[in-house]
Amino acid sequence: MTAPSETLQRGLAMLTPVKPQFTWSTTILALSLISFHVIRRLWETLCISVYSDTTMNIFHYGVGLIHYTILPLTIICESKGIADNRYGLIFASSAISSVQWVGVALFFLCNRQQHLIARELAALRKGPDG
């Protein structure tokens, strides 16, 4: 993996707390879970959801864009290693605690449930009244 540029390191260092909280392995795990969630939601939006002729409020659209842009940045800024080269950028599954692995399992269970609900809602709109 290549190291981030000096400019990016300085910018992230300004946003990072004095004592970053999480290891690079935890950061990669969290970013992977967010990526999975975003890709699944995009797939549902494009392939599963059935929409009416109504329009979306521009404020809600903006909040969604800001949320999905800032969320990964906040995770990166809380991580050891990206703004300080002392920690290294190496993923080690042994650095993930058992509580975090339980969290990963819970994440996938809840994601599956959200997907099933999205399918049910889409099926309701496919009827003659939808």
Single-letter code of the amino acid located at 72:
P
7 residue type, one letter? T
Q: pLDDT (tens digit, 9 = 90+) per residue, 41-89? A: 989 888 887 777 777 789 988 998 999 889 988 888 777 766 566 666 7
**72, 87, 74, 92: which is closest to 26 by C-alpha?**
92
Q: Max CA-CA distance within the chain?
A: 62
| Extents of the domains making up the chain | 6-125
Q: What is the pLDDT of residues 8-18, one digit of tens each?
A: 777 777 766 66
pTM of the full predicted structure? 0.73
